[in-house]
A and B are shown apart, each in its own frame.
Chain A
Amino acid sequence: MRRLKIGKFQQLCKSTYIFNSESGSPFHAMASIRTATEQPKPPKLTYNTLPVFAFLLLSFLFGPSSANTTPSNVTFINSAADSGLDFEHTDGESGMRLFNEYLGAGGGFFDYNDDGHLDIYLINGIPQIDQSKDTQLPIPANTLYHNRGDGTFSDVTSLAGVGDAGYGVGCAVGDFDNDGDLDLYVTNFGPNTFYCNNGDGTFIEVSVNAGVASAQWGTSCAFADVDNDGFLDLYIANYAKYTVEKDKRCVIRGIWQYCGPGTYPPDSDIFYRNNGDGTFSDSSKKSAILNVPAYHGLGVAFGDYDNDGDQDLYVANDQVANFLFQNRGDGTFEEVALLSGVSYSDMGKEEAGMGTAFGDYDNDGLLDLTVSNFQNETNTLYHNQSGEFFADVTITAGIGEVTHGYLGWGISFFDYDNDGYKDIFVANGHVLDNVVKVDRSTTYPQQNLLFRNLRDGTFADVTNQTGPGLALQKVSRGAAFGDYDNDGDIDILISNWNQSADLLRNEGGNLNNWVQFRVVGVRSNRSGIGARIKVVAGELTQYAEVQSGGSYLSFSDLRVHFGLDKSEKIDLLEIRWPSGQIDSARNLPVNQQFLVTEGHGLTHCQE
């Protein structure tokens, strides 16, 4: 067991708010007791200390503010080239339309060196067929870009030791060993790779030693503390049982195309339980995730949809029913998608589930759900009705008509204009490079979509009003979200199939006020994944969870961002930790980053 340590991020913080803990909360009794962990030191007070705020357990009964349909002045600019993000994805370019090529690859934002700036990791494929023995081209690999803090990035892959040269697919980050830095898991077509962060800007590969070197074809993955023992567990969606050697050629109406998922048998997903000693155990059977049939898994999202204090799990499957695993609270799951109304489309049909995300778009304290699907289906928006079941509101929310013509992948709720209501972004792109030969109604590259939350349960397509970054038409796959330039609004990282990645810088989102929280668990897992944060600012009451997974093959900033519209202060901050502890504070300033340590206080880091 490594020592807990305070990272550089905390050292950068300016001021500290200390708060007490509410240990008699309803959630407290649910918490599992974590043993043998050292308490982290409270963050050091550096500048002005603001008043100490008492703890309060408040109700979650604030209603939404009135609808605002005024267009925002936000634009997105693709700053990838200017910022030195020169990543080019390759699927191996076999020219054979191999079955494992079209899923693409993901990437994400994380602060690997704890310097307060989000770095970027991008996943790559490799050649799968030895076509050009004579050439001396470098083998493509995953790439880590260090954020210099001035809007530019430098490639530190070799230095950090994370240039996995497997056939990369997806990734997730989390502090699995509770040592204060973020570790990195990569799914591959082939054995997955797990990098343990050494805390000094380098990583060490521990896949086999940690017991997570699954050789199945992994896609999306996510960390969460499923049994609330203070250690992050890991779920990996797997796609199919396939080998390049046995690749089949699919011809439809005389046209050679990529084969669909039904061509190869699906593979079961994996759930690894963290043993708390730097290793994991395959707990797939014990956790009951194998009580369902093996399906072609693609999207993974954790979230406490039933508000019972533990992390539930949604898995988007390709062309079959999706799964909703309700956490029984004892480290096992029960699959409840059908009766919860989230298995199928609203006509009871399977769809090609790709990406997925939990998020509370109507600020009612219940996590809603969205799923991206194939072209000629729609993306789906499920509204959480009561914590027990969901209503498919795709059409009435205004999502259906627009998304029907797109093939969606990475998807998430995020508040791009800081108005206090989460919007939706979805990355699009076809799977068939020659789709126009069979269907003139669509294209291989497609425009991504941005939906603005109109605060009344509906969304407006604002894609064409939000700048050149959203006008791009590429073959997108993964999408990750984070404020990489620390300017108070959320930027978007997009991975594209056989193309350069895009870094869409948000310009103007910070015209509204905002706040960001980085959470540090003490009894809870150190990353604070699963912590539920409630923010009340004026008439706005918002909820969000610290999430490791979601979207598609990608990971987003673990800091939780809230748009605050024109509110000048935060009336109440309340955090329900996975341990069950509830912390709260009042009267916080806006436009700040805060570091929140479970049971200790919050530190004002950056304006």
Chain B
Amino acid sequence: MITTVTIWRPRIRFKQPAKHGTGNEVRNSVSLYQILASILFVSMSGFGNLINLAIAGAPGSQQKVKAHFDRGVHYVEIGLYDKAIIEVQNVLELQPESSEAFCLLGDVYQYKEMFNEAADAYQHALTLNGSKQTRGIANWCLGIIFNKQGKFLKAEKYGKEAVSLLPGASWAHHRLGDIYTQRGKLNEAVGAYQKAMQLNPERAEAYQGLGRIALMQNDPEAAIRYYQGAIPRAPYQEGAYYNLAKAYRRSHQLEKAKAQMERFKKIKAYQDTVQHYQKKLKKNPTNVGLHAELAKIHLEINNLNAAIREYHILTSIAPSLALGHYNLGALYIQQGEVQRAIESLQKAIELDGNDTESYMRLGWIYASQKKFDLAKSYLQDALQRNPMLSEAYQGLGEIYAQQGILREAIAAYTKLTEIEPKAAEGWLRLGALQVKAKQFDDAVHAFQQAINMNPDLPDAYNNLAWLYADLNLNLDQAVPLAEKAVVLNLTASNLDTLAYAHYKNKNYTQAEQVIQRALEIDPNKDQYHQLLQEIQNARAMNTK
């Protein structure tokens, strides 16, 4: 059968901004790691709730407090900590007894690696009349700081208090597990990690903690299981690969150990590069070029979330840079965050009315949402600005195809192949549309062109074979073409075509054998059963 190729894969073309900053750099000795960590932390510790609590405590100055708090959190997110401190101070002027503000201040100091000051802020927050949640977070943060400083008794005390105040927070339990582990209290640590896992089965740190303890207890098999659970949940943390390799080594699975060590090296190299950029960004956190380069590094290893975070920071520190919004939109498309992608791309267009690629991406998005008129409008806007934009024709072609307007769809793809005559997939799609429109001669030409442009494109061979067989045209070529498709890509569909070519060539024995193979792969396909029946009937007739 004909493979109806839908080239409906948004291919993200990143544009790299200039390597160096925009000139509006702010001197700030903070690292990107902190920025990323802050985003994670903010989401974990629920600053949204803190803001609400802070506002609830100050009905007379709600809007001002909220504005300062919002800005403070935003500055934390993008790593502009000194600005965040000013915002916290503004909150404290309005609400001097706000434990939430002191908590936020503690966070800022943590990200500035001023741990003593951070501890002071959290401890002060605990002296104020804060909510249970705020006190839980302050205790949790103090546990982390004291654990980092090697004051494990204190860390344990605050970690336990955090867990009692926030019993449903898996992150509080896993941190307590870390503290117990560091103290050598392995049974307690196991309990804490298991509780964290129970509360959030996706918490990779809990798996890692349990794996670490299993290794300490000389149980490599258990360690292997835990690390195999940790890696898919946090694929960019090198420690899990390292310890999985060690667990394999200790269970005498040397080859697996070596393979994991290679993965460890790859992830570690990535993390080292990230750290290298973090150091640069520590000196210059508003350097747009560095953020873009770092995002690219994240993308090279498919760490889409980290790349998005980077562009989120980039667009915050350089909000008038259309390119930043475009790339962020493109990343959101890749992540499937359609609404955010639309917002980013529209922002890019707002900033640069000639950003053809943003128009085009929006057109594609709306097309995928079946908002065809809007989609066509954006695509045509794109073509108006750049008539050679082949992907816009592709989008239009698909829209018309979905609307059943074959003539326009064929016209769009014809235009595409004029602009990009070497685009094999364009020829393939054009041929498929022409088959549908019964323009068989043109379709044959299109499939032949597709093969010429890419001799390894199985669908082109398959489609041409089917067409020849179906049209009883060049029947002698149909079988070798279909065989080539099968060699390049062994699928039930391609086997079906080969069987059909044999059938049309009256090679019923081969035809039956091949369709049986297709049925082994996909036994429920009615079409294959139908062809089998036709073959068997023809064979019977032929025998008679």
Q: Is there a chain B Cβ closer than 8 Å to A385's Cβ?
A: yes
- Residues in B neighbouring A344, C-beta threshold 8 A: 242
Q: Are B181 and A395 in contact (CB under 8 A)?
A: yes
- Contacts A348-B268, A376-B150 hold; do A401 and B182 have CB atoms under 8 A apart? yes
- Residues in A neighbouring B212, C-beta threshold 8 A: 346-347
| Chain B 247-263 interface 0/1 with A at a Cβ cutoff of 8 Å (1 = within) | 00110000001100100
Q: Are B243 and A338 in contact (CB under 8 A)?
A: no
Q: Is there a chain A Cβ closer than 8 Å to B477's Cβ?
A: no
Q: Is there a chain B Cβ closer than 8 Å to A396's Cβ?
A: yes
Most interface-central of B182, B186, B258 (chain A CB within 10 A): B182
Q: Is there a chain B Cβ closer than 8 Å to A294's Cβ?
A: no
Chain A contacts with B in 380-427, Cβ cutoff 8 A: 385, 389, 391-393, 395-396, 398, 400-401, 404-405
Minimal Cβ-Cβ distance residue in A for B237: A348
Complex CA gap A252/B240 in Å reads 32
Q: Are A339 and B249 in contact (CB under 8 A)?
A: yes
Q: For residue A577, give the distance in angstroms from its CB to the closest CB of chain B.
A: 32
Out of B113, B150, B218, B241, which one reaches A375, CB within 8 Å? B150
Q: Is there a chain B Cβ closer than 8 Å to A190's Cβ?
A: no
Q: Is there a chain A Cβ closer than 8 Å to B405's Cβ?
A: no
Q: How large is the interface on A (under 10, 10 to 19, 20 to 34, 35 or more residues)?
A: 20 to 34
Complex CA gap A398/B186 in Å reads 12
Q: Is there a chain B Cβ closer than 8 Å to A64's Cβ?
A: no
- Residues in A neighbouring B217, C-beta threshold 8 A: 396
- Residues in B neighbouring A348, C-beta threshold 8 A: 238-243, 264, 268
Q: Are B184 and A400 in contact (CB under 8 A)?
A: yes
Q: Are B116 and A439 in contact (CB under 8 A)?
A: yes
Complex CA gap A385/B257 in Å reads 16
Q: For residue B528, give the distance in angstroms from its CB to the closest CB of chain A.
A: 50
How many B residues have CB within 8 A of the partner chain? 37
Q: Are A405 and B218 in contact (CB under 8 A)?
A: no
Q: Is there a chain B Cβ closer than 8 Å to A246's Cβ?
A: no
Minimal Cβ-Cβ distance residue in A for B216: A396
Q: For residue B386, give the distance in angstroms from its CB to the closest CB of chain A.
A: 46
Minimal Cβ-Cβ distance residue in B for A343: B242
Minimal Cβ-Cβ distance residue in A for B117: A440
Chain A contacts with B in 421-445, Cβ cutoff 8 A: 439-442
Complex CA gap A392/B250 in Å reads 12
Complex CA gap A396/B151 in Å reads 18
Q: Is there a chain A Cβ closer than 8 Å to B183's Cβ?
A: yes
Q: Is there a chain A Cβ closer than 8 Å to B112's Cβ?
A: yes
- Contacts A341-B246, A348-B264, A401-B152 hold; do A393 and B216 have CB atoms under 8 A apart? yes
- Residues in B neighbouring A252, C-beta threshold 8 A: 29
Q: Is there a chain B Cβ closer than 8 Å to A133's Cβ?
A: no
Minimal Cβ-Cβ distance residue in A for B113: A253
- Residues in B neighbouring A385, C-beta threshold 8 A: 250
Q: Is there a chain A Cβ closer than 8 Å to B115's Cβ?
A: yes
- Contacts A344-B242, A391-B218, A396-B216 hold; do A405 and B150 have CB atoms under 8 A apart? yes
Out of B184, B238, B249, B265, which one reaches A389, CB within 8 Å? B249
Q: Is there a chain A Cβ closer than 8 Å to B215's Cβ?
A: yes
Q: Are B257 and A401 in contact (CB under 8 A)?
A: no
Q: Are B152 and A404 in contact (CB under 8 A)?
A: yes
Minimal Cβ-Cβ distance residue in A for B148: A376
- Residues in B neighbouring A398, C-beta threshold 8 A: 184
Complex CA gap A439/B151 in Å reads 13
Complex CA gap A429/B29 in Å reads 27
- Residues in A neighbouring B240, C-beta threshold 8 A: 348
- Residues in A neighbouring B152, C-beta threshold 8 A: 401, 404
Complex CA gap A398/B183 in Å reads 8
Q: Are B183 and A401 in contact (CB under 8 A)?
A: yes
Complex CA gap A605/B148 in Å reads 52
Minimal Cβ-Cβ distance residue in B for A252: B29
Q: Are B149 and A401 in contact (CB under 8 A)?
A: no
Complex CA gap A396/B183 in Å reads 9
Q: Are B150 and A391 in contact (CB under 8 A)?
A: no
- Contacts A385-B250, A404-B152 hold; do A346 and B184 have CB atoms under 8 A apart? no
Q: Is there a chain B Cβ closer than 8 Å to A349's Cβ?
A: yes
Out of B113, B183, B261, which one reaches A339, CB within 8 Å? B261
Out of A347, A389, A405, A439, which one reaches B115, CB within 8 Å? A439
Complex CA gap A109/B152 in Å reads 37
Q: Is there a chain A Cβ closer than 8 Å to B114's Cβ?
A: yes
Chain B contacts with A in 206-228, Cβ cutoff 8 A: 212, 215-218
- Residues in B neighbouring A341, C-beta threshold 8 A: 246, 249
Q: Are B151 and A391 in contact (CB under 8 A)?
A: no
Q: Are B238 and A376 in contact (CB under 8 A)?
A: no
- Residues in B neighbouring A404, C-beta threshold 8 A: 150, 152, 182
Q: Are B239 and A349 in contact (CB under 8 A)?
A: yes
Complex CA gap A405/B154 in Å reads 13
Q: For residue B117, give the distance in angstroms from its CB to the closest CB of chain A.
A: 9
Q: For residue A442, give the distance in angstroms from its CB to the closest CB of chain B.
A: 8
Q: For residue B107, give the distance in angstroms from its CB to the closest CB of chain A.
A: 17
Most interface-central of B150, B243, B268 (chain A CB within 10 A): B150
- Residues in A neighbouring B238, C-beta threshold 8 A: 348
Minimal Cβ-Cβ distance residue in B for A346: B212
- Contacts A338-B261, A341-B249, A389-B250 hold; do A405 and B216 have CB atoms under 8 A apart? no
Complex CA gap A401/B186 in Å reads 13
Chain A contacts with B in 341-381, Cβ cutoff 8 A: 341, 344, 346-349, 375-376
Chain B contacts with A in 316-361, Cβ cutoff 8 A: none
Minimal Cβ-Cβ distance residue in A for B116: A440
Complex CA gap A389/B218 in Å reads 13
Q: Are B216 and A441 in contact (CB under 8 A)?
A: no
Q: For residue B260, give the distance in angstroms from its CB to the closest CB of chain A.
A: 10
Q: For residue B264, give the distance in angstroms from its CB to the closest CB of chain A.
A: 7
Most interface-central of B113, B151, B184 (chain A CB within 10 A): B184
Out of A389, A392, A441, which one reaches B149, CB within 8 Å? A441
Q: Are A441 and B150 in contact (CB under 8 A)?
A: yes
Q: For residue B190, give the distance in angstroms from its CB to the closest CB of chain A.
A: 13
Minimal Cβ-Cβ distance residue in A for B254: A339
- Residues in B neighbouring A389, C-beta threshold 8 A: 246, 249-250
Complex CA gap A400/B216 in Å reads 13
| Chain B 176-190 interface 0/1 with A at a Cβ cutoff of 8 Å (1 = within) | 000001111010000
- Contacts A252-B29, A441-B116, A441-B149 hold; do A346 and B249 have CB atoms under 8 A apart? no
Chain B contacts with A in 97-137, Cβ cutoff 8 A: 112-116
Minimal Cβ-Cβ distance residue in A for B249: A389
Q: Are A405 and B264 in contact (CB under 8 A)?
A: no
Q: For residue B123, give the distance in angstroms from its CB to the closest CB of chain A.
A: 13
Minimal Cβ-Cβ distance residue in B for A402: B150
- Contacts A398-B184, A400-B184, A439-B115 hold; do A339 and B151 have CB atoms under 8 A apart? no
- Residues in A neighbouring B268, C-beta threshold 8 A: 348
Q: For residue B436, give the distance in angstroms from its CB to the closest CB of chain A.
A: 55
Complex CA gap A440/B120 in Å reads 11
Minimal Cβ-Cβ distance residue in A for B218: A391
Q: Are B116 and A396 in contact (CB under 8 A)?
A: no
Complex CA gap A395/B245 in Å reads 20
- Contacts A341-B246, A376-B149 hold; do A391 and B215 have CB atoms under 8 A apart? yes
Complex CA gap A207/B134 in Å reads 66
- Contacts A253-B29, A396-B184, A441-B115 hold; do A339 and B258 have CB atoms under 8 A apart? yes
Chain B contacts with A in 476-530, Cβ cutoff 8 A: none
- Residues in A neighbouring B112, C-beta threshold 8 A: 253
Given A339-B261, A392-B216; 18 other pairs, CB 8 A cutoff: A252-B29, A253-B113, A253-B114, A339-B258, A341-B249, A344-B242, A348-B239, A348-B242, A348-B268, A375-B150, A376-B150, A389-B246, A395-B184, A396-B184, A401-B182, A401-B183, A441-B115, A441-B149
A-B contacts, 11 of them at CB < 8 A, read A253-B29, A253-B113, A253-B114, A391-B215, A391-B218, A395-B216, A400-B184, A401-B184, A405-B150, A440-B116, A441-B149
Closest 8 CB pairs of A and B: A348-B242, A405-B150, A404-B150, A348-B239, A441-B149, A347-B239, A440-B116, A348-B238
**Chain B interface residues (CB < 8 Å from chain A):** 29, 112-116, 148-152, 181-184, 186, 212, 215-218, 238-243, 245-246, 249-250, 257-258, 261, 264-265, 268
